[in-house]
């Protein structure tokens, strides 16, 4: 490179041109721009604060603007208090405890290297034209509920400011059964009033809602509250009959079921129960609501002849006439004795000596009385055969006559039927005539049991 420079002297000028000395121009300083250049607030004494206003800041010069803002009044607030470059400051005025009058302050805007800018602020506080006043609607409340029942629906008292300024109110009451919510508020609002029947007997209860507000012309205001608690409904048990009578036979079928209709001749809902005090008596169902029917059944099984007494008890919660009883009697009659019935009442056989036996005949046995018939049959003739010789209930006996060694002639015999318990008897006469002669049946005579 050195050789090249020596050979070409102008090359060095191209590589490192000679710089001429010069002084750069000075940058302009920052300058604060503020808009608007003044602020004015107006509010009413004791009223709401006026809306905040905004001061916009800009750099109307050069460089960088680092600014700060301050004020000289306790009622004035700035936010933010500093910033860089363009920005805004929110300016708020508070009435607080200021009396009526005009108040002046200044917002001071400063920045390094910049001229301070002052923004005048005026705050005018006017007198409250009309004080607040409490308005309540409705002006009274009335609740109705049933003793021990559900609580009635809550009601609402609407509160309004019928005057000027700001209304700050509170409520109170002096009844344990009355509840209010909320306890206080500002401006228009509402109170929810609720009542509770718990523990209250039937009657009329009175209370007062008191509404108070500071600085009002009509404080306090009262809202009367009436709570009427009516007596709980009282059911009354009514029965279709107050006694039942059953009749059955010892060892026989049970008597027919009987029914009792239950109804409520009072008011409200009647929840009832039914019970009995005898093992031979059964009631169904055991409980119910309102009108219903009870079925009573008597069971004679295992009971000796005689008369039995019991009671059905019907009870209902809250009923004026609980409990009610239904007298029940059961008469069990002795079982009727069995009675032997026989048909035909006589038998006649005819055969020829040395010939074949006559055809067998049938004797039908029936129970013409009651109970169970257990019978036996016997005869008093060697030529006579019975089959079967005993039985239970209705039946038949096959009666057979055998000629055997009998000679010609008429023969008489008797079939005797007997039972363990019977109120009557039958004797069946039987006869056989050898050759061509028929015999007359033997007469029937009583046979004691």
Q: Cis bond leading into 199, ω under 30°?
A: no
Query: What backbone phi and psi angles, to 5 degrees, belong to 223?
Result: -125, 105
Q: Which two tokens stand for residue 300?
A: 């004679």
Q: Which CATH architecture has domain 134-230?
A: Sandwich (2.60)
Map out the domains of the chain as residue ranges: 32-126, 134-230, 237-333, 340-433
At residue 279, the pLDDT reads 96
Domain 340-433 in CATH: superfamily?
Answer: Immunoglobulins (2.60.40.10)
At residue 13, the pLDDT reads 52
Cα–Cα distance, 277 to 327 (Å, whole number): 11
Task: Please determine whether the domains at 32-126 and 134-230 fall in the same fold group of CATH.
Answer: yes
Mean pLDDT per 10-residue segment, the chain (449 residues): 52 50 73 95 89 95 92 96 94 92 95 93 86 93 92 96 89 93 94 95 95 90 96 92 95 94 92 96 96 96 95 94 96 89 93 91 90 90 94 94 91 89 45 34 28
At residue 257, the pLDDT reads 97
Residue 51: Cβ-neighbour burial (10 angstroms; 0-12, 13-18, 19+): exposed
At residue 387, the pLDDT reads 95
Q: Which two tokens stand for residue 208?
A: 């007062």
At residue 441, the pLDDT reads 31
User: How far, in Å, are 69, 78, 103 from residue 118 at the CA level?
Assistant: 10, 14, 16
Q: Which CATH architecture has domain 32-126?
A: Sandwich (2.60)
For the segment(s) 237-333, the CATH number from 2.60.40.10, 2.160.10.10, 3.30.70.120, 3.40.50.10280 is 2.60.40.10
SS (H, E, C) the chain: CHHHHHHCCCHHHHHCCCCCCCCCCCCCCCCEEEECCCEEEEEECCCCCCCCEEEEEEECCCCCCEEEEEECCCCEEEECCEEECCEEEEEEECCCCCCCEEEEEEEEEEECCCCCEEEEEEEEEECCCCCCCEEEECCCEEEEEECCCCCCCCEEEEEEECCCCCCEEEEECCCCCEEEECCEEECCEEEEEEECCCCCCCEEEEEEEEEEECCCCCCCEEEEEEEEEECCCCCCEEECCCEEEEEEECCCCCCCCEEEEEEECCCCCCEEEEEECCCCEEEECCEEECCEEEEEEECCCCCCCEEEEEEEEEEECCCCCCCEEEEEEEEEECCCCCCEEEECCEEEEECCCCCCCCCCEEEEEEECCCCCCEEEEEECCCCEEEECCEEECCEEEEEEECCCCCCCCEEEEEEEEEECCCCCCEEEEEEEECCCCCCCCCCCCCCCC
At residue 388, the pLDDT reads 96
């Amino acid at each position: 490179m050195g050789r090249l420079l020596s050979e070409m002297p102008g090359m060095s000028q191209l590589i490192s041109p000679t710089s001429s000395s010069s002084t750069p121009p000075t940058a302009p300083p920052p300058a604060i721009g503020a808009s608007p250049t003044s602020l004015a607030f107006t509010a009413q004494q004791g009223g709401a604060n006026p809306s905040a206003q905004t001061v916009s800041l800009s750099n109307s010069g050069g460089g960088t603007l680092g600014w700060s803002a301050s004020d000289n009044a306790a009622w004035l607030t700035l936010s933010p208090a500093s910033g860089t470059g363009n920005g805004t400051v929110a300016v708020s005025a508070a009435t607080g405890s200021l009396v009526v009058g005009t108040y002046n302050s200044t917002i001071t805007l400063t920045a390094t290297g910049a001229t301070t800018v002052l923004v005048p602020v005026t705050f005018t506080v006017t007198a409250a034209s009309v004080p607040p006043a409490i308005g309540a609607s409705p002006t009274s409340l009335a609740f109705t509920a049933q003793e021990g029942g559900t609580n009635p629906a809550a009601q609402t008292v609407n509160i309004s400011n019928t005057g000027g300024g700001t209304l700050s109110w509170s409520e109170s009451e002096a009844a344990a059964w009355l509840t209010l919510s909320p306890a206080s508020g500002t401006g228009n609002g509402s109170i929810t009033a609720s009542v509770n029947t718990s523990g209250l007997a039937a009657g009329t209860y009175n209370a007062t809602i008191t509404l108070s507000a500071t600085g009002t012309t009509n404080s306090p205001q009262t809202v009367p509250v009436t709570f009427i608690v009516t007596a709980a409904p009282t059911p009354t048990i009514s029965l279709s009959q107050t006694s039942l009578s059953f009749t059955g036979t010892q060892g026989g079928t049970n008597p027919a079921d009987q029914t009792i209709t239950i109804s409520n001749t009072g008011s409200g809902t009647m929840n009832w129960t039914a019970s009995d005090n005898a093992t031979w008596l059964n009631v169904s169902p055991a409980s119910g609501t309102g009108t219903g029917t009870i079925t009573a059944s008597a069971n004679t099984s295992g009971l000796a002849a005689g008369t039995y007494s019991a009671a059905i008890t019907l009870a209902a919660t809250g009923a004026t006439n609980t409990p009610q009883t239904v007298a029940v009697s059961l008469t069990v009659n002795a079982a009727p004795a069995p009675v032997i019935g026989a048909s035909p009442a006589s038998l006649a056989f005819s055969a020829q000596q040395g010939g074949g036996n006559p055809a067998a005949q049938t004797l039908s046995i029936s129970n013409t009385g009651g109970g169970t018939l257990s019978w036996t049959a016997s005869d008093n003739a060697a030529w006579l055969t019975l089959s079967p010789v005993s039985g239970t209930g209705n039946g038949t006996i096959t009666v057979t006559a055998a000629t055997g060694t009998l000679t010609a002639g008429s023969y008489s015999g008797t079939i005797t039927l007997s039972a363990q318990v019977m109120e009557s008897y039958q004797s069946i006469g039987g006869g056989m005539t050898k050759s061509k002669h028929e015999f007359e049946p033997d007469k029937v005579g009583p046979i004691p049991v």
